A and B are shown apart, each in its own frame.
Chain A
């Protein structure tokens, strides 16, 4: 059997396959199911034993985040932010804390707000804010996601901020290997906090507080807010990502979930999603061909409705896209 006959046998209803594409035979489907389960377990084992070969990584960098953020600010006639080491330390501490305590929110389960990390890092803010992202593979997608969210966008385009710090950490959160991005924004002087020049920087994202007061978390698990006090000073709050590890602001936290940031040979998330989409596309293709050929030849068979399976597999294709997509808070 040459390649052409083999493909014909595999994808087209024909006398050689009893008028049902071979790929759609019960035995073929069973083989594919077994291979997928085996591959899932194997990949998981390889991720653990050989993380340099198969693992989670991203091409996100602090430099690119800063560059793209400042581009957006420039487009909106706002001054650029400067990278601040203390805010970067605070961001790293927050990311590590999320991994260590296994949470994905602005406030930790024990009530720690983002401001605790910022103050702990020695940054005496007047205004401060936080954006979080997880599961993204490149910087542009993170920036696009934040810009598409009104609240995150407000933080990025607030005229109240002078400085920014970033942390990009890889680790296990909620049982999932992921990359966390923490953006901490702030300013240290009232002079740096002019009135917002555009409507994005509204009060809904910022609270006026005294410089010495401690922000109090609100009821929303994903947004920390500060309690207004007598002195007009600021704070901002925003996104939260998961993390674990040492809090540079307040000492180290044992973090079994945090992993070293290095680039494995294969990005498991991207590779698995590509393979999954390929398998789904192959079956949809075979089902459509089968449906068309049988309809034209008016062959009578006792099988399920191909259209049902096509809809089900199309849903899976959509879900794969949804699952691989990153998240922000």
Chain B
């Protein structure tokens, strides 16, 4: 498992950079929850793109995998929507 992770270190570093940037932007906009939602949607979109590219470059891409990343990205958006719409009424 860890060997597999080591093989993909560069990919994970790029993913963490995307996440760190998104987290920074969201922490900078604490007074505007609508903007935070928008930033997260963009971040989720980049996550899906990153996941698909990652598998494509490693020659293991399939439609099932594309759907899986889209679903996980959408799940993240749904969680944030529930939190911000249901919890804060945006």
Q: Are A39 and B86 in contact (CB under 8 A)?
A: yes
- Which residues 273-329 of A sit at the B interface, judged by CB distance below 8 A? 273, 275-276, 279-280, 283, 291-292, 295, 302-305, 307-309, 311-313, 315-316, 318-320, 322-325, 327, 329
Q: Does A207 contact B (CB under 8 A)?
A: no
Q: How far is the CB of B81 from chain A (nearest CB, A)?
A: 5
Query: How far does the alpha carbon of A34 sit from the alpha carbon of B74 in the complex, in Å?
Result: 10
* Separation of A245 and B87 alpha carbons in the complex (Å): 23
The answer to whether A37 touches B69, judged by C-beta atoms less than 8 angstroms apart, is no
Q: Mark B1-37, 1 if CB is under 8 A from A, else 0.
A: 1000100100010011001001100110011111010
Distance to closest chain A CB from B25 (angstroms)? 11
**Complex: how many Å from CA A192 to CA B6?**
65
Query: Is the Cβ of A176 less than 8 Å from the Cβ of B82?
Result: no
Q: Say yes or no for A225: interface residue by CB 8 A criterion.
A: no
Q: Is B79 a contact partner of A269 (Cβ separation < 8 A)?
A: no
Measuring CB to CB, which residues of chain B are less than 8 angstroms from any residue of chain A? 1, 5, 8, 12, 15-16, 19, 22-23, 26-27, 30-34, 36, 40, 43-44, 47, 50-51, 54-55, 60, 62, 64-65, 67-69, 71-76, 78-90
What residues on A are CB-neighbors of B60 within 8 Å?
302
B78 contacts across to A, CB distance below 8 A:
32-33, 36-37, 40
A36 engages B90 (CB within 8 Å): no
Complex CA distance for A178 and B90, rounded to whole angstroms: 11
- By the criterion CB–CB under 8 Å, are B27 and A37 in contact? no
Is chain A's binding surface mostly helix, strand, loop or mixed?
A: helix
Chain B residue numbers with a CB within 8 Å of A42 are 86
Q: Which A residues touch B8, using CB under 8 A?
A: 305
- Are B71 and A316 closer than 8 Å at their CB atoms? no
Chain B residue with Cβ nearest A172:
B89
CB neighbours (8 Å) of B12 from chain A are 307, 311
**Residue from A270, A273, A283, A325 in contact with B75 in the complex, judged by beta carbons closer than 8 Å:** A283
Check A174–B34 contact: CB distance below 8 A.
yes
B88 to chain A, nearest CB (A): 5
Let me know if A76 is at the binding interface, CB within 8 A. no
Query: Is A304 within 8 A of B55, CB to CB?
Result: yes
| A56 vs chain B, min Cβ distance (A) | 8
With A40-B81, A309-B72, A322-B30 known as contacts, the answer to whether A272 contacts B64 (CB < 8 A) is no
| Chain A contacts for B89, CB-based, 8 A | 44, 47-48, 56, 172, 175-177, 268
| A271 proximal to B (CB < 8 A) | yes
Give Cα A327–Cα B29 distance, bound, in whole angstroms: 10
